[in-house]
Structure 1
Amino acid sequence: MKPPISRFPVPALDSLPDDVRRKMLEVQEKAGFIPNVFLTLAHRPDEFRAFVAYHDALLLRESGLSKGEKEMIIVATSGANRCLYCVVAHGAILRVYEKQPLLADQIAVNYLKADITPRQKAMLAFAMKVCTDSAAVGEADFAALREHGFSEEDAWDIAAITALFGLSNRMANVTSMRPNDEFYLMGRVPKAKT
Structure 2
Amino acid sequence: MCAAVGRLPQAVLQSPGTARCAGKALRPRAVAPPCFGSAVLPSCLVLSCWSVLPCCGPVARTDADLAPLFGSPRYSLTLWQDTDVSGTALGWQRQEAARHLPFLASRGLLKRPPVAAQRHAYSTKDDSSVRPIGRYPVPNKKDMPYDIVELMEEVEVKTGFLPNVFKAMSHRPAEFRAFFAYYNVIMNKETGRLSKADKELIIVATSAVNRCPYCVVAHGALHRIYSKQPTLADQVVVNWELADLSSRDLAMLEFALAVCRAENITEEHFQKLEAHGFDREDAWDIATIAAFFAMSNRIAHFVDLRPNKEFYNMGRTPREAGRDGA
| TM-score w.r.t. length of structure 2 | 0.57
Residue in 1 that maps onto 2:231: 102
Whether 1:186 and 2:314 are equivalent positions in the alignment is: yes
Greater RCO structure (CA 8 Å; 6+ sep) = 1
Q: Give me the whole-angstrom Cα distance separating, in 2, the residues matched to 1:30 and 1:157.
A: 27
More helix by share: 1
Quick one: which of 59, 68, 76 aligns to 2:187?
A: 59
Residue in 1 that maps onto 2:66: none
Residue in 2 that maps onto 1:78: 207
Residue in 1 that maps onto 2:281: 153
SS at match of 2:262: helix
Bigger CA radius of gyration: 2
Residue in 2 that maps onto 1:92: 221
Q: How does 1:31-46 map to 2 (within 5 A)?
A: 31-46=159-174
Residue in 2 that maps onto 1:133: 262
Q: Give me the whole-angstrom Cα distance separating, in 2, the residues matched to 1:5 and 1:102.
A: 26
Q: Give me the whole-angstrom Cα distance separating, in 2, the residues matched to 1:103 and 1:12.
A: 39
Q: How far is 1:103 from its partner? A: 1.1
CA contact (8 A) 1:84 1:179 kept: yes
Whether 1:16 and 2:144 are equivalent positions in the alignment is: yes
Q: Give me the whole-angstrom Cα distance separating, in 2, the residues matched to 1:2 and 1:143.
A: 50
The letter of the residue matching 1:151 is D
Q: How far is 1:23 from its partner? A: 1.6
Greater CA deviation, 164-173 or 16-25? Answer: 16-25
Q: Give me the whole-angstrom Cα distance separating, in 2, the residues matched to 1:37 and 1:147.
A: 37
CA contact (8 A) 1:76 1:109 kept: no
- 1:14–1:100 distance in 2 versus 1, CA, 3 Å: farther
Q: Give me the whole-angstrom Cα distance separating, in 1, the residues matched to 2:237 and 2:146.
A: 36
Encode CA deviations 1:141-183: one digit per residue, 9 max, x unaligned. 0111000010111000001000100000001010000100000
Q: Name the Cα RMSD after superposition.
A: 1.1
Whether 1:165 and 2:293 are equivalent positions in the alignment is: yes
Q: Give me the whole-angstrom Cα distance separating, in 2, the residues matched to 1:38 and 1:176.
A: 14
- 1:188–1:14 distance in 2 versus 1, CA, 3 Å: farther
SS at match of 2:304: coil
Q: Give me the whole-angstrom Cα distance separating, in 2, the residues matched to 1:26 and 1:111.
A: 35
The letter of the residue matching 1:91 is G
SS at match of 1:2: coil
Segments of structure 2 that go 5 or more residues without pairing to the other structure are 1-128, 321-326
CA contact (8 A) 1:76 1:124 kept: yes
Q: Give me the whole-angstrom Cα distance separating, in 2, the residues matched to 1:151 and 1:30.
A: 35
Runs of 4+ off more than 6 Å: none
SS at match of 2:189: coil
Q: How far is 1:30 from its partner? A: 2.2
Q: How far is 1:132 from its partner? A: 0.7
Q: Give me the whole-angstrom Cα distance separating, in 1, the residues matched to 2:157 and 2:232.
A: 27
